[in-house]
Chains A and B, each alone.
Chain A
Amino acid sequence: MLNIQNFKKAYGSQLILEIPSLSFSEGIHWVKGKNGSGKSTLFNCLAGISPFEGKVELNGYSLSKQPVSYKRLLNYSQSEPTFPEFLTGNDLISYFGQLKGATPAQVTELSQQLSIESFSNQPVGNYSSGMLKKLSLVIAFLGNASWIILDEPLITLDKEAQEALLNLIADKSKKEVSFILATHQDFENQLIEADHTYEVKDQGIIRDL
């Protein structure tokens, strides 16, 4: 269970998002919203890379008080991932792999599933946006996270990678991994179906549209 209490995010005096209380139960959650509504900002905060006011807890672990346990349980892929251009994909996979406790076998399997082995030894400065997205998705599946947040996971991916990703989500979902997805595309198919849908709107969030 991912609990949000008295959440408030602002840039200076400009309020972006205010959520008095919200709980994400286990399952697949689809967060919708117009461009600039605050979806990515919310995800950055839940992933602990952007500051906010309020309380966020995952399975009882507080993001501010028990970040080590919290971060092991939650992985994140940004909508438009960026990394220092001189690092290679393998550098970043090893970095996140150690932080998330991934095994070499898992790294190999994910690299094969999302077809990144052919370029993962190159600096990310040479990557196309699709290649960067694939790398970011591999990183998001490393370790044994019980929650994975994927911001616009399908954009810039080719058809094969989109299918591979949906299979990965379906597979992980069966193993009781929960997902929070933000996408403008209709990702639901025979493999996966959202348990709840939300809309980020007017600086707040509405559940089950």
Chain B
Amino acid sequence: MKAISSVLVRVIVKEFYKENTGFFLVVLGLGFGFLKTPQHMDIASALAFRPIYYLVPLGLWVLYTIKTLNFFYRVKRLPENWFLTEVIGLPNKGLKPLVVYIQFLLLFPILGYSIFMTVIAFQLGQINSAIILITSNLLLLMIAGYFLFLQLVKPVDPSISKRLSNWIRLIPRQYPFLFVHHLLHRHSISLVLTKLFSAAVILGATAIFNVEGIDFRYLALGILISSAINANFSFRYYEFEGSALKLYRNLPHSRIKIFAKNSVTYLILSLPEFLVFFGNNWSTSDILNLFQIALILPVVSVLHHMVVKNIRPNQEDYAKYVFFATAFLFFVILGYVPVYILLITLLVMSLAFAHRKNNRE
């Protein structure tokens, strides 16, 4: 059982956390950066006395659980993961606890926080609140585990919906669009969730900026966090170029030309964020400032891409790199460095990486 469990953990759990590095970066940043431990204890205490408000964290936990199930739904349909279905060969008494264990690891962040809230409720003598928390989390784990089990043992064909397929056909097929096609075909759910989450962060940053009204750094930080959320696409693009776009390596394209094409791809991928960003700020802010800030997203994505092409890290090292690069840029922006200087510096660095011999092209 140990070998089966080890493979499932690496294919499902580790890949989930790697893919959602940007998401966890933002959640940790917002949840434990702005709020300190005493504030978490205050919130947990307040909720313990009014258990009806547990519906708020529970709603967020349900959304997170749906995210884990969506992830698995997509991963199961990847051609290389056909072998996951084979676990149906395990007797149910071995398979079901294993699936619950996998789901437990996927839900670990919310279950961990829930244990913290339960301990607080117990300390305050709010036994009913503690029981509500324990029951609701166990229920969430079991229901999610059941759906995971159904997905795991169900034979599936790698496929996309016909409606989506018809719509994708309208998108041009030039080089910069090929990765967009790939994302829409193979990672559509992840793409939509990432863009929704990224848009939510931009809206949050806009709301904070509107309250304060002067400091553009709030918008820049929002776009920077949005680039961290989108960072997994840079890694995927690198993998996609190394597998599906091998053919282009033999064509007489200079590294700079490929760099330009990659950059266009990231501009296309940034369109949803651009729409949200300009749509909410164009009437109240200087358009030139907004334009500079918006470009942080594609420029940082291009930098990530070029770094990956040169260093060729595994996904785990890439997650660490994104974390530290984002943290560094966060403090650079906080330090009142003009955005255009930052953009030029990042572009020059990206070009330097693109021009290096170590680059795949």
Contact = CB atoms under 8 A, between A and B. Distances in A.
A49 B156 CA distance: 7
Interface size class of B (residues with CB under 8 A): 20 to 34
Interface size class of A (residues with CB under 8 A): 20 to 34
Interface in B70-113: 79-83, 85-92
B276 interface: no
Interface stretch (B2-10, B251-259, B303-311): B2-10
Contact of B157 (A51, A78, A95): A51
B1 interface: yes
Contacts, number: 74
B36 interface: no
Interface stretch (A82-90, A158-166, A168-176): A82-90
Interface stretch (A31-39, A66-74, A114-122, A148-156): A66-74
Contacts of B3: 91, 94-95, 97-98
A44 B3 CA distance: 24
B347 interface: no
A127 interface: no
A187 interface: no
B4 A98 contact: yes
Nearest to A13: B162
B226 to A, nearest CB: 28
Contact of A71 (B81, B86, B162): B86
Contact of B11 (A11, A82, A87, A94): A87
Which of B6, B83, B88 has the largest count of A CB atoms less than 10 A from its CB? B83
Interface in A48-81: 48-51, 67-68, 71-72, 78
11 contacts: A11-B157, A48-B88, A49-B85, A68-B88, A68-B90, A92-B7, A92-B83, A95-B3, A95-B4, A97-B3, A99-B87
Given A78-B82, A83-B80, A99-B90, 19 more contacts: A48-B88, A48-B155, A49-B85, A50-B155, A51-B154, A67-B89, A68-B90, A68-B92, A71-B86, A71-B89, A84-B10, A84-B11, A86-B10, A86-B314, A87-B10, A92-B7, A94-B3, A95-B4, A99-B4
